[in-house]
């Protein structure tokens, strides 16, 4: 029998061990490579810009939005004229489908047409920059007269040319939503929803509330109670960031900006200055909202500000005359339901005088007179009633309006799933104006872009490539 070679056997064992070690190292390296590959992929993914909610989907990024503007232009504040000038120099990037005059007192569609007349003088220059600027006659054709009176207690009164136009545009066979930018009262919006509730899903509303809301408490309350699922931004204070806060130095100052960049810039520029020689443009954040940002998501940053889900819409009802010891949330609705007692005339009438307002009472038929009031400032208000009802005439009272706690934003109302309002946190407030920094932080950007647009009114484009 042949003997086995012990040396040869040992050598084979060593070779097998070496081979196993090599294989083990190879497997280990492959595993490490796989981990590194996954990590790199994750790093690349985390560093890539977001393309969904935070992507710029504004008109200046190429997204054409359907727009109707409802304005109280020609009323007590000249800023609507300024905002209309601003709107028209951006008319090439928007599909403007309606311009509705909806004042509570002075102001008519002729005031819109006056701005269009100035636009016509600058149109020859404007169209050299873009062939998408609508003709002056196209704009005139979509200018409509809306409601000229405040809504009664019911919140709606009658259909108007303006409210019917909202309905007609909303019912068009167009998959895009219809953005309603409300610069004044919500009377025509409320009427359109009353007459055609089927249009509600198509609407996206940005309302400059605040001072306008105080003139429109009944139409507003009608929408709250009857159309709580309306998609709406209620900007009661944040809009002020367009002219309050931000960089106000040098050319960015309200007056200096107009002097350097608006005056002398075509007929529209001169018209702007003739109404007010400093930046007010309190309604323009609604236009900024569709120009730069993510219009379908109000929580995202953009020129029109950013907003939080609305909490329960503040409403305070008293069946007595309130005093200055009573309190309510600023921009809320106060309803007074006061008994008229005996000796009531056949046609009872009453007015509640508050500061510069005279709020008409509503005799509900149940022996009471009702008033609605919306405070636009955080302060104490005094009331006095003038009436042909003896039990009411001469009655005095008041209310204190206060700013809500920032914590209230943590309790959005389920009843209002598509309702947004000013962020009450102190970090984004300009003084007492909640949310205003979400607009003012963009001041240099939106004013610089506006200045460049106004140059279009002054002279034609010299770019040979156009």
- Print the domain residue range for 166: 59-312+407-458
Q: Distance (Å, rounded) from C-alpha 429 to C-alpha 237?
A: 9
Residues 448 and 346 in one domain: no
Residue 19 lies in a domain: no
Residues 154 and 260 in one domain: yes
Instruction: Please indicate, yes or no, if residue 24 is contained in any of the structural domains.
Output: no
In whole angstroms, what is the distance from residue 152 CA to residue 216 CA? Answer: 10
Residues 173 and 321 in one domain: no
Residues 240 and 92 in one domain: yes
Helices vs strands, H then E, count in the chain: 13, 17
Which one of 382, 403, 424 terminates a domain?
403
Give yes or no: residues 303 and 443 share one domain: yes
Same domain, 308 and 413: yes
My answer on whether 288 and 414 are in the same domain is: yes
SS (H, E, C) 249-315: CHHHCHHHHHHHHCCCCHHHHHHHHHHCCCCCCCCCHHHHHHHCCCCCCCCCCCCCCCEEECCCCCE
Residue 206: name the closest of 118, 267, 290, 131 by CA: 290
Q: What is the pLDDT of residue 104?
A: 80
129 and 260 fall within a common domain: yes
- Tell me what pLDDT residue 54 has: 59
Given a contact cutoff of 8 angstroms between Cβ atoms, the answer to whether 180 and 186 are in contact is: no
Residues 359, 371 contacting (CB under 8 angstroms): yes
Q: Which residue, 378, 403, 428, sits at the end of a domain?
A: 403
Q: Is residue 122 part of a domain?
A: yes
At 355, list the tokens.
């500061």
Task: Check residue 430 and report its DSSP letter.
Answer: B
Residue 52 lies in a domain: no
For residue 37, tell me if it sits in a domain.
Answer: no
225 and 129 belong to one structural domain: yes
- In 142-198, where does DSSP find H-type helix? 161-170, 187-195
Nearest Cα residue to 85 out of 439, 444, 453, 449: 453
Same structural domain for residues 76 and 149?
yes
Domain assignment present for residue 255? The answer is yes
Residue 240 DSSP label:
G
User: Taking the model in full, what pTM does it have?
Assistant: 0.87
**pLDDT single digits (tens) 217-266:** 999 999 999 999 999 999 999 999 999 999 999 999 999 999 999 999 99
Cβ atoms of 135 and 90 within 8 Å: the answer is no
CA distance linking residue 435 with residue 119, whole number of Å: 33
Task: Identify the CA nearest to 160 among candidates 148, 150, 143, 152.
Answer: 148
| Cβ-contact 368, 337 below 8 angstroms | yes
Q: Are residues 147 and 215 in the same domain?
A: yes
The verdict on residue 416 lying in a domain is yes
Output helix, strand, coil percentages for the chain, rounded to the nearest 5: 40, 20, 45
Question: 228 and 349 share a domain?
Answer: no
Is 171 inside any structural domain? yes
The domain that holds 342 is classified in CATH as: 2.60.40.10
Could you count the other beta carbons within 10 Å of the beta carbon of residue 273? 18
Strands (DSSP E) contained in 15-171 are 66-71, 95-101, 143-145
CATH number assigned to the domain comprising residue 67? 3.90.245.10
Q: Give the whole-angstrom CA distance, residue 327 versus residue 313.
A: 15
Overall number of domains in the chain: 2
Q: Residue ranges of the chain with pLDDT lower than 50?
A: 1-53
Q: How far apart are CA 84 and CA 278, in angstroms?
A: 15
Q: Residue 77's pLDDT is what? A: 77
Q: How high is the pLDDT of residue 394?
A: 97
Q: Are 385 and 393 in contact (CB under 8 A)?
A: yes
Pull the structure tokens for residue 20. 């196993």
Question: What is the per-residue pLDDT for 32?
Answer: 35
The strand ranges marked E within 33-88 are 66-71
């Amino acid at each position: 029998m042949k003997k086995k070679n012990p040396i040869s056997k040992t050598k084979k064992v060593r070779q097998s061990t070496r081979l196993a070690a090599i294989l083990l190292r190879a497997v280990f390296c492959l595993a490490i490579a796989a981990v590194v590959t996954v990590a790199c992929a994750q790093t690349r993914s985390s560093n890539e810009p977001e393309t969904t909610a935070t992507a710029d989907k504004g008109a200046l990024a190429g997204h054409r939005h359907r727009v109707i503007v409802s304005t109280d232009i020609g009323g007590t504040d000249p800023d609507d004229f300024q905002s209309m000038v601003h709107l028209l120099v951006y008319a090439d990037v928007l599909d403007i489908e309606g311009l509705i005059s909806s004042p509570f007192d002075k102001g008519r569609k002729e005031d819109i047409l006056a701005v269009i007349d100035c636009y016509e003088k600058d149109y020859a220059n404007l169209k050299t920059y873009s062939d998408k600027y609508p003709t002056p006659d196209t704009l005139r054709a979509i200018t409509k007269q809306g409601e000229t009176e405040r809504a009664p207690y019911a919140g709606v009164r009658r259909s108007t040319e303006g409210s019917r136009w909202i309905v007609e545009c909303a019912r068009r066979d167009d998959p895009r939503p219809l953005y309603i930018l409300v610069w004044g009262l919500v009377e025509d919006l409320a009427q359109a929803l009353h007459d055609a509730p089927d249009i509600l899903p198509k609407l996206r509303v940005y309302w400059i509330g605040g001072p306008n809301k105080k003139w429109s408490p009944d139409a507003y309350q009608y929408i709250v109670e009857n159309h709580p699922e309306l998609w709406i931004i209620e900007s009661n204070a944040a809009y002020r960031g367009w002219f309050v806060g931000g960089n106000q130095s040098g050319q960015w100052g309200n007056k200096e900006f107009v002097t350097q960049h608006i005056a002398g810039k075509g007929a529209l520029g001169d018209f702007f200055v003739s109404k007010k020689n400093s930046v007010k443009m309190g309604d323009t954040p609604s236009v900024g909202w569709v120009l730069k940002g993510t219009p379908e998501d109000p929580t995202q940053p953009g020129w029109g500000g950013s907003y939080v889900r609305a909490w329960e819409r503040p409403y305070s009802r008293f069946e007595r005359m309130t005093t200055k010891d009573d309190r309510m949330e600023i921009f809320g609705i106060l309803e007074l339901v006061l008994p008229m007692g005996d000796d009531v005339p056949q046609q009872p009438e009453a007015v509640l005088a508050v500061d510069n307002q005279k709020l008409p009472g509503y005799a509900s038929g149940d022996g009471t007179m009702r008033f609605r009031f919306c405070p636009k400032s955080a302060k104490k208000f005094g009331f006095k009633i003038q009436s042909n009802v003896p039990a009411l005439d001469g009655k005095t009272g008041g209310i204190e309006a206060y700013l809500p706690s920032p914590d209230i934003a943590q309790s959005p109302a389920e009843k209002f799933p598509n309702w947004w309002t000013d962020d009450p946190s102190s970090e984004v407030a300009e003084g007492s104006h909640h949310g205003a920094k979400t607009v003012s932080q963009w001041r240099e950007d939106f004013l610089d872009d506006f200045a460049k647009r106004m140059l279009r009114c002054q002279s034609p484009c010299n770019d040979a490539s156009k």
